[in-house]
Structure 1
Amino acid sequence: MGGAADAARACVRRCGGGRHVRRAAGSGGQPVTSTWVSSRLGVRLTDGPCPVGAGLSSLVGLAVRRNPRRAHLLVSAVLGKHVPTDPRLVYGSGLLLGELVRARLRGEAPSHPGSLLSDALDGVPGAPVGLRDFMRAPRVPVDAIVLGYAETATALGHSVADALGGAYYLHSTRRPVPKFEAYGGFEEEHSHATSHLLLPDDPSMLDRDVPVVLVDDELSTGRTVLNTIAALHAVRPRRHYILAALVDLRGSADRARMDDLADRLGTRIDAVALAGGHVELPEGILEAGQELVAGLSGGSPDTGRAPSSEESRASPPQAGPSRAGLSRARLEWPAGLPDGGRHGFLPEHRRRLEKDLARMADVLAAGLGDVSRVLVLGFEELMYAPLRLAEALADALPDVDVRYSTTTRSPVLAVDDPGYAIRTRLVFPSHDDPADGPGERFAYNVAPGSGQRGFDQIVFVVDDVGDTTALADGLLERLRVLAPVLVATVPAHGRDS
């Protein structure tokens, strides 16, 4: 009994478990924390398995959703969605997850980064670069189909596919494109916008009996990925599926559901994650979360800052002397290179992108002023291209603090409190003529919270479908209040001319 307890305590120490505040290197000095939510809603994070040396409570914090179906949001310290993060930490973490997949497919032990991930989360200088470079070391490639989930896991899925070396990558999308026929669709039950589509430009790439890897930022119950497997298997049976996520929160009943599906389909289903554990949710959490959101309204229309409130709706800020400049960069994106995996991304596409990343980063660097802190901001599903550009820019400007995050459809409560993971939010209108109609969009932690330092410049990376008058009049006007903005537009693959 004592030996088991000692082992459990050792795992907690190794994972960094039990801590509700983790100062992530990607957070720009902002703790990715759960203390505010824990004290008000009674939600708790409990560490479980930690195969790469960082536990659940080190990798995520907590925020409150503006969503009646799910009260809490896990805010990742390594995803680069809601928290501006060192892009080398984001990409290195994705490659690390891909290494767990690659090792599982090959039946071997994964390469372990030692303390690099936990050091990067703790803000140790050089650790994000060290993690990324360690994970980029050549390894035996494997063939697979990798599917990422829009919108949060599009770049994460790309990174997993990169780590596999020989994989075909496709991510789901909420943007229908008339020239592409849907291969399949599925429903993400807890999401605020549930319709997903698979729109490969070459459907035959999905009609192969190679392992299928389904990548999401978190596995809560696993229902979404199991629904996807059932739908895919009905079209083309396969022998092996792997679920891959940054964190795995499934309980025993959820894992049994996965095993039952594997038995029914006559296939193998595995799961890998950087960390495991569970979220303790008190009874009545949905009602309590809605009451909390309803009680915290108002706040600043420009940043969402208030000691205990947030903005409810944002009108464009008034012009004034603090308005910064707006300029554009001519990236000269390589002709014919997909901007991401919405319609498929092949290993040769990765090799082409790698050849041009440094050149495009130099273009961005030339468009910056005298800066010491820069945010590269991506656009909803367009996460991978901005991530890789941010990574290359950070390498090109070693004395500049380069961070990466993206805009999102996901409505989250913002509270300007050091114990809360989402300090500020910008609200602006959609700008890419979405198929489900216009709506509000969000950018979190871009404006500085109380006592935080802002960015000297913002680089906004958008595809040409989203580069519209609505963008100029909406998000760009709001960003210009905060810092000079450099816009880099990439061509959307498959767009009708």
Structure 2
Amino acid sequence: MGVRLVDSADPADLVGLADLVGSADLAGSADLVGLADLVGLAVRRNPKRAHLLVSAVLGKHVPTDPRLVYGAGLLLGDLVRARLRGADASYGGAYLADALLGVKAAAAGLRDSLREPCASVDAVVLGYAETATALGHSVADALGGAYYLHSTRRAVPGFIPYGGFEEEHSHATSHLLLPGDPTALDRDVPVVLVDDELSTGKTVLNTIEALHAARPHRRYVVAVLVDLRGEDDEARVCALARRLNTRIDIVALAHGRVELPEGILSAGRSLVEDLSTQVVREDAPGRFEVTRVDLEWPSGVPDGGRHGFLPVHRTRLEKDLPRMGDALAGPLSGAGRVLVLGFEELMYAPLRLAEALADLIPEVDVRYSTTTRSPVLAVDDPGYAIRTRLAFPSHDDPSDGPGERYAYNVDASFDRIVLVVDDIGDTEELSKGLLERLRALAPVLLATIPSYRSEP
């Protein structure tokens, strides 16, 4: 793979990156789609893990058709439903394969084939912050009767954590569970844990241990886009199930492995340090307008699952999505390519808004992604998953202190950018930071959603 870094003095200096990423092997088994179809590889700026799997259906790092993102989540949820009910899953794999190939209408077909649950299933669904908050929410939607909660790295005054756990390889490791109604987690129903990937299983084991200590459950299901565990990792899951006297099932859209060369962690650190000293990039000043759009978010509907999300909330949101999509569609007249950009853990609401927008203006190429805490090396090369990076300061007064945040693959190819944040993140730091970066690229519509403040 030839690699070139924009603004680098000497592209030949990047031979190390080609060796590092090019030597990784993605091998998959026979699944709905192949592992290499679902993920690409990038280099992390993280001392604990050198590589990042960049999903083609998550909408986190790569702007993606929102109907593919939501449809993939519904498909994963359908696999969970089938496993819990001992039934066959709906046939959505062909739609998914075609959508990944860019076949026209395949993404909408995938979403539409799974939009209504085949049979309602009562469960507690937990999504992992920040990457899988919308994925977990989509799985809960597919089950129909599920209560949804995602972990959070935002401490909210007045809420006592139900539990917490550590994600050992993450850039930001601590997770909190802050349900508005803790009794929703105490019911004797299956618990479904949703993440984008399962590498060793340590995070889900930590979670299950913490949940089981608070309230034992007879069954857990772990749902992921890709399952990369080895035999030893699988044995640890079985051992925990025996020790806790419970059942743990794993479902995934694809299985496989990532083989990386020996010493990759130290090599990745050295490579990032070397390249970081070579590249100096000045952000252009903003020159396009920022226009605020009032969505009139439905009263009483949470902006996401930080404190819990019920099926009745989904029903009310579905009713209002076309109206809110109309509010966004008007100012986008004449656009050819539009990005709806979410904000860290706020992934589900922007996803559903982007999906509604794509349905309303089919002549426009609508894409969806979100900002993130994860530092990743950006390289402008067609074979590399992270082509560009916008860096900006945090803007929601994070409990762990201020820090740098990122938006990847967001560039001037978009005619309009719709930025969706919650009101806690709509700050002066947002105006001076991320908004300035975005309005250097295209006109920006800013839609602010009220952060849900249920009583603790």
Question: TM-score band, normalised by the shorter chain?
Answer: over 0.9
The Cα RMSD (Å) is 1.5
Tell me the alpha carbon deviations over residues 330-389 of structure 1, each in whole angstroms, 9 at most, x when there is no partner.
100001110000000000000000000000000001122420100000000000000000
After superposition, residues 207-286 of structure 1 pair within 5 angstroms as 207-286=186-265
Indicate yes or no: 2:440 matched with 1:481: yes
Greater mean alpha carbon deviation, residues 154-163 or residues 127-136? 127-136
Same amino acid, percent of matched pairs: 71
CA distance in 2, matches of 1:223, 1:40: 25
Tell me the alpha carbon deviations over residues 208-256 of structure 1, each in whole angstroms, 9 at most, x when there is no partner.
1100000000000010001100111011111000000000000000000
CA distance in 1, matches of 2:30, 2:272: 33
Q: Could you tell me which of 402, 420, 424 is aligned with 1:465?
A: 424
**3-state SS of 2:140 partner:** helix
CA distance in 2, matches of 1:441, 1:188: 19
**3-state SS of 2:334 partner:** coil
Residue pair 2:332, 2:416 contacting (<8 A) in 1 also: yes
Residue pair 1:457, 1:483 contacting (<8 A) in 2 also: yes
CA distance in 2, matches of 1:397, 1:152: 27
CA distance in 1, matches of 2:93, 2:453: 42
1:137, CA displacement in angstroms? 3.7
Indicate yes or no: 2:31 matched with 1:47: no
CA distance in 1, matches of 2:17, 2:367: 25
Residue pair 1:362, 1:393 contacting (<8 A) in 2 also: yes
The aligned amino acid for 2:281 is P
1:295, CA displacement in angstroms? 2.0
CA distance in 2, matches of 1:318, 1:75: 29
Residue pair 1:361, 1:396 contacting (<8 A) in 2 also: yes
After superposition, residues 423-438 of structure 1 pair within 5 angstroms as 423-438=387-402
**3-state SS of 2:236 partner:** helix
After superposition, residues 72-221 of structure 1 pair within 5 angstroms as 72-221=51-200
The aligned amino acid for 1:126 is A
Tell me the alpha carbon deviations over residues 312-337 of structure 1, each in whole angstroms, 9 at most, x when there is no partner.
xxxx5335xxx111101010000111
**3-state SS of 2:59 partner:** coil
The aligned amino acid for 2:370 is T
Tell me the alpha carbon deviations over residues 84-106 of structure 1, each in whole angstroms, 9 at most, x when there is no partner.
00000000000000000000000
CA distance in 2, matches of 1:424, 1:36: 19
CA 317–282 in structure 1, closer or farther in 2 if over 3 Å, else same: same
1:40, CA displacement in angstroms? 3.2
**3-state SS of 1:147 partner:** strand
Residue pair 2:20, 2:264 contacting (<8 A) in 1 also: no
5+ residue gaps in structure 2? 2-14
Greater mean alpha carbon deviation, residues 205-214 or residues 129-138? 129-138
1:136, CA displacement in angstroms? 1.2
Q: How high is the TM-score relative to the length of structure 2? A: 0.94
**3-state SS of 1:261 partner:** helix
1:138, CA displacement in angstroms? 3.9
CA distance in 1, matches of 2:16, 2:318: 41
Indicate yes or no: 2:414 matched with 1:455: yes
Other-structure match for 1:26: none
CA distance in 1, matches of 2:224, 2:239: 20
CA distance in 1, matches of 2:167, 2:82: 28
Other-structure match for 2:285: 318
Bigger RCO (CA 8 Å, 6+ sep): 2
Aligned residues: 440
Residue pair 2:180, 2:454 contacting (<8 A) in 1 also: no
**3-state SS of 2:157 partner:** coil
The aligned amino acid for 2:416 is Q
The aligned amino acid for 2:43 is V
Indicate yes or no: 2:410 matched with 1:446: yes
The aligned amino acid for 1:336 is G
The aligned amino acid for 1:189 is E
CA distance in 2, matches of 1:240, 1:275: 22
5+ residue gaps in structure 1? 1-19, 21-34, 303-315, 449-453
Q: Could you tell me which of 388, 394, 404 is aligned with 2:368?
A: 404
CA distance in 2, matches of 1:364, 1:296: 40
Residue pair 1:43, 1:280 contacting (<8 A) in 2 also: yes
CA distance in 2, matches of 1:107, 1:281: 37
CA 36–495 in structure 1, closer or farther in 2 if over 3 Å, else same: farther
Residue pair 1:326, 1:480 contacting (<8 A) in 2 also: yes
Other-structure match for 1:10: none
After superposition, residues 328-477 of structure 1 pair within 5 angstroms as 328-447=292-411, 454-477=413-436
1:37, CA displacement in angstroms? 5.9
Other-structure match for 1:493: 452
